[in-house]
Amino acid sequence: MTRRKIKIKKIDNIATRQVTFSKRRRGLFKKAEELAVLCDADVALIVFSSAGKLFDFASSSMKHILQKYVSHSSNIHKYPSPLQFLQQENSLKVRLSKEISDKTRELRRISGEDLEGLSLEELEELEQKLEVGLNRVSETKDKQLRNEIATLQYKGAELMEENNWLKQRVANDRQNRRIAPDMDRMILDEGQTSESMTNNSTTQPPLQAAHCSDTLLKLGLPFH
């Protein structure tokens, strides 16, 4: 036997309506409690009967849940709806497209193109912009040139210092080369002096021997 489907409409009988209210209310609160326990959710129900009697259910603190609801509701109003967000995005897209078009046209005019239709005032304003831009370019160029000159001067000073150091080193090497032969000659002269003294000492005895032989011959003595 299947359950008969009840048509959802207001119950005209007051007694029947009150009984149905009590049953459905208890079932609704039971489902709310199951939802809170099974899903660890904060659930709050507020029901007023047709007579104005209040029935409520809260899984935790009704005051805490209501404060969360009020805070969330106020935050919702701060954010635009999807339709409003889409409208804002379209408006931003149109504005950006217009700015891009204006900047592109201005750049072409600065380059000397698309000048037809400009009034005298617009041409004078464009000329002033070009003069200001040219002055900025010149200032930037002069600044870079000064920086490069300062860098080159610093490198030139370093090269001059290194060149002076190399010259001093070469001069010292040349002086050392001149001192070395003088030292060799001094050593050689000292060696020759000692050798001559040695030769004199070796040659002196034969002279003494010759002198002695002459004396012996004069005296008529035998010479050995």
48 bridge partner residues? 54
Is the separation of the CB atoms in 44 and 56 below 8 Å? yes
**Total count of domains within the chain:** 2
Report pLDDT for 107.
82
Closest to 29 measured CA to CA, from 53, 63, 57, 50: 57
* Percentage of the chain exceeding pLDDT 90: 22
Do residue 40 and residue 52 come from a single domain? Answer: yes
Closest to 44 measured CA to CA, from 53, 35, 5, 203: 35
- In the structure, what pLDDT confidence band is assigned to residue 188 with cuts at 50, 70 and 90? low
Q: Rounded distance, CA 78 to CA 90, Å?
A: 20
Tell whether the model's pLDDT for residue 214 goes beyond 60. Answer: no
Do residue 30 and residue 66 come from a single domain? Answer: yes
Closest to 20 measured CA to CA, from 12, 68, 73: 12
- 22 is a domain residue: yes
Tell whether the model's pLDDT for residue 223 goes beyond 50. Answer: no
- In the structure, what pLDDT confidence band is assigned to residue 184 with cuts at 50, 70 and 90? low
Do residue 84 and residue 29 come from a single domain? Answer: no
Poorest-confidence range of 71-75, 88-92, 165-169? 71-75
> For the chain, first and last CA: distance in Å?
178
Do residue 85 and residue 69 come from a single domain? Answer: no
Q: What is the mean pLDDT of residues 15-30?
A: 92
Report pLDDT for 8.
82
Report pLDDT for 80.
59
Q: Enumerate residues 6+ apart whose C-beta is below 8 A from 60.
A: 42
Report pLDDT for 105.
82
Do residue 42 and residue 98 come from a single domain? Answer: no
Which residue, of 94, 116, 138, is where some domain finishes? 116
Is the separation of the CB atoms in 127 and 115 below 8 Å? no
User: What CATH number is given to the structural domain containing 26?
Assistant: 3.40.1810.10
Do residue 65 and residue 41 come from a single domain? Answer: yes
Do residue 95 and residue 44 come from a single domain? Answer: no
pLDDT, tens digit (0-9, with 9 covering 90-100), for 123-178:
888 888 888 888 888 889 999 999 999 999 999 998 999 999 998 888 888 888 77
How far apart, in Å, are the Cα atoms of 96 and each of 90, 93, 103, 104?
10, 5, 10, 12
Query: Could you tell me which residue, 187 or 71, shows the higher pLDDT?
Result: 71
- 181 is a domain residue: no
Do residue 19 and residue 67 come from a single domain? Answer: yes
- In the structure, what pLDDT confidence band is assigned to residue 10 with cuts at 50, 70 and 90? confident
- 53 is a domain residue: yes
Which residue, of 29, 54, 79, is where some domain finishes? 79
Q: Rounded distance, CA 83 to CA 74, Å?
A: 19
Q: Rounded distance, CA 66 to CA 45, Å?
A: 10
Report pLDDT for 209.
47
Do residue 20 and residue 57 come from a single domain? Answer: yes
Q: What is the mean pLDDT of residues 98-107?
A: 86
Structure tokens at 145: 């040139």
Tell whether pTM > 0.75. no
Q: Which residue has the tokens 């002459």?
A: 214
- 221 is a domain residue: no
Do residue 45 and residue 68 come from a single domain? Answer: yes
Do residue 51 and residue 96 come from a single domain? Answer: no
Which structural domain, as residue segments, surrounds residue 35?
14-79
Do residue 68 and residue 86 come from a single domain? Answer: no
Q: Rounded distance, CA 101 to CA 133, Å?
A: 21
Which residue, of 97, 116, 135, is where some domain finishes? 116
Report pLDDT for 81.
63
DSSP secondary structure, 86-142, as one string: HHHHHHHHHHHHHHHHHHHHHHHHHTT-S-TT--HHHHHHHHHHHHHHHHHHHHHHH
- 195 is a domain residue: no
- 144 is a domain residue: no
Q: What is the mean pLDDT of residues 19-41?
A: 93
- 192 is a domain residue: no
- 55 is a domain residue: yes
